[in-house]
A and B are shown apart, each in its own frame.
Chain A
Amino acid sequence: MKNRIKVLRAERNMTQAELAVVVDVSRQTINAIEKGKFDPSLPLAFKIARFFSRAIEDVFQEED
């Protein structure tokens, strides 16, 4: 699954560690999601999308 977390984070000048605190996971988890190595659960995906004030499909997209 692709995602735009890195871009959205950069727009807010925010570090992985800061986002990790907001959504209550480890920095390693945010890093693995950003790199597409780990797909988050639906609740975590919603939490991330809600934090960026985006719809979930604006943040996460299915790979072709």
Chain B
Amino acid sequence: MDAKTNQREASTRKNTWHLAYWTGSWVLTVAIATFGPEVIWDYNSGISLIFILINAIVGIGMILMNRKYINGLDELQKKVNTDAMAIAFGVGVVGGMSYSILDITNVIPFEAEISFLIMLVGITYLIGVVVSNIRYR
């Protein structure tokens, strides 16, 4: 019995670390592709294109790893995560559209940055997971 429990826990732990690795790699490639042209390769389009492609490929790896992570969870944790993703997706679409309109109509004095939207979605997802876990405790 213990061996089986440990096997499940070990598998989830391994998937979590792999997801963290892929997410960290994706964030790193975003930073390189974004700031590299200015500070490393002086806006060489060829090099920029290579790093944008690397970023997209690592991003696909992160998406596939996230799918594997979700599929490896038990059914309650799957529900917790899909509920949180549904809320995060909704907040992303609605919040993103409102944010864009604020920019288009010049209500905000600065350009709408997609990074704020990504942070909003990420924070919403985290809060959703924590709240759901508390609810099912």
- Contact residues of A with B, CB < 8 Å? 17-18, 20-22, 24-26, 28-29, 31-32, 37-38, 40-41, 44
Contacts and interface: CB of A to CB of B under 8 A. Distances in A.
Given A38-B79, A40-B75, A44-B75, A28 B136 contact: yes
A26 B1 contact: no
B24 to A, nearest CB: 26
B5 interface: yes
B8 interface: yes
A20, A24, A26, A38: most-surrounded residue (chain B CB, <10 A): A26
Contact of A26 (B2, B4, B74, B79): B74
A38 to B, nearest CB: 6
Interface in B46-93: 74-77, 79
Nearest to A40: B75
A25 B76 contact: yes
Nearest to A17: B5
Contacts of B133: 28
A14 to B, nearest CB: 11
Given A18-B1, A29-B74, A24 B8 contact: yes
B1 A38 contact: no
A41 B78 CA distance: 12
A61 to B, nearest CB: 20
The 3 closest A-B pairs by CB, nearest first: A29-B76, A25-B74, A32-B136
A29 B5 contact: no
